[in-house]
Chain A
Amino acid sequence: MLRGLSLIGGTFSPASTRTTVSHAIGLVAGVNDGTMHLILFIVFAGFCLAGAINLLLQTHPINSALSLVVVMSSLAVLYLLLGAEFLAAAQIIVYAGAIMVLFTFVVMLLNASREERTMGSGVARILGFPAVAVVLGVIATVILRAQGMGSATLSDPITSTEDLSRVLFRELLLPFEVTSVLILIAILGAVALARPGNADPARADRAIAERTGK
C-alpha cells in the first residue's frame, strides 16, 4: 500500500514538478505585482489615517481642512487601486478641489480662530466614545471574519468611464436628472440662507429676549 502510493507519487513527480515550477513563476510575477499594490496600499492608507487623526488633533480649522485634503487625495489613490478611475478623478476634483476650497473659503471669511479644547460634553464622554469603540469593534470583527472576500491586484480590470456612463445615462437617467434639481435647490437655499438681511443680529437678539423673557 505504502509502496504503491510512493510509486504513484514517483510516477507523477515530473509532472507535478513542472506545475510547481510554473506555479512558482506565476507566484513570483504575482508577488511583484502584489508587493507593489501592498506598498501603495500601506503608504496611502497610512496617509489617510494620519490625515484623519491630524484632523482631530489640530485646533485651528484651517489645519484641519488641509488634513482633510490629504485624506481625500489619498482616498483617490485607493479608488484607483480598486479600479475606479472615474471616481478617483471625481474625488480629486469635487472633494479635494471644490468642497475643500469652499471650506477654506468659509474658514477665512469668518476669520475662525483656534477652538478651545473641552474634549466633548459629558454625554459624549460617557456614552459616545464607548459606543464608537463598540461599533468599530463589532464592524472590525465582522469584516475580519468575513469569508469569500476577494482580493485586489494591480492587474484587475479598470472600470472605464464608458461602462460607468452606459449605466448612468441609460438605466439611471431619472435619478441623475433628479440630482440636478437637487443641486439647483441647494444653490437657491445657500443663496437664501447666506443673504445678509436674513440673519439680522438685532432680530436674533429680539428673538432670544422673547424666548428668555428678559
Chain B
Amino acid sequence: MIPLNWYLLLSATLFSLGVVGFLIKRNLITVFMSIELMLNGVNLSFVTFAHQWHLVKGQIFVFFVMVVAAAEAAVGLAIIIAVFRARSTLAVDRIDLMKL
C-alpha cells in the first residue's frame, strides 16, 4: 500500500531536478536532457492521477506527451547540429548572439 502522494512527490522532485539541471548545465545537449527529465516528471503525475480517478484518458495524455517529446527531440537535436555547424561549440555561454 503506497499512498499516491508519494508518487506525486517523486514527480515534483524529478521536475525540480530537471529545472535545476536546466539552470546549471552549460552544455546544450545536457540542457535538452534536463527538459526531457521535466517531461518525464510530469508524465508520472499524469499516470498517478489516471490511477487515482480510474480514468484511461490520463494515460492517453501521457501517450500524446511521448509523441510530442519524440517530435521535439528530433527537431531540437537537428537545431543543435545546425548550431554546432555554425558556431563549432556546444557551450551555451558562447552561444549568446541573441542575448541582450
Report how far A110 CA is from B6 CA in the complex, Å. 39
The chain B residue sitting closest to A157, CB to CB, is B54
In the complex, per-residue mask of A61-96: 1 if CB is within 8 Å of any chain B CB, else 0: 100110010011001001101111011001100110
Q: Which residues of A sit under 8 angstroms from B17, Cβ to Cβ? A: 49, 52-53, 55-56
Report how far A135 CA is from B48 CA in the complex, Å. 20
A84 touches B81 (CB 8 A): no
Interface size range of chain A in the complex = 35 or more
Q: Which residues of A sit under 8 angstroms from B26, Cβ to Cβ? A: 115-118
Q: Which residues of B sit under 8 angstroms from A68, Cβ to Cβ? A: 33, 36-37
A136 touches B16 (CB 8 A): yes
Q: Which residues of A sit under 8 angstroms from B48, Cβ to Cβ? A: 82
Q: Which residues of B sit under 8 angstroms from A151, Cβ to Cβ? A: 1-4
Is A6 at the interface (CB under 8 A from chain B)? no
Interface size range of chain B in the complex = 35 or more
Q: Which residues of B sit under 8 angstroms from A144, Cβ to Cβ? A: 5, 9
Select A56's contact among B24, B62, B85, B97, beta carbons within 8 Å: B24
* B interface, over-half SS: helix
Chain A's nearest CB lies how many Å from the CB of B11?
Answer: 9
Chain A's nearest CB lies how many Å from the CB of B87?
Answer: 7
A129 touches B23 (CB 8 A): yes
Report how far A75 CA is from B6 CA in the complex, Å. 14
A112 touches B27 (CB 8 A): yes
Report how far A202 CA is from B4 CA in the complex, Å. 55
Which of B30-53 touch A at CB < 8 Å? 30, 32-34, 36-37, 40, 43-44, 47-48, 50-52
Q: Which residues of B sit under 8 angstroms from A38, Cβ to Cβ? A: 1-2
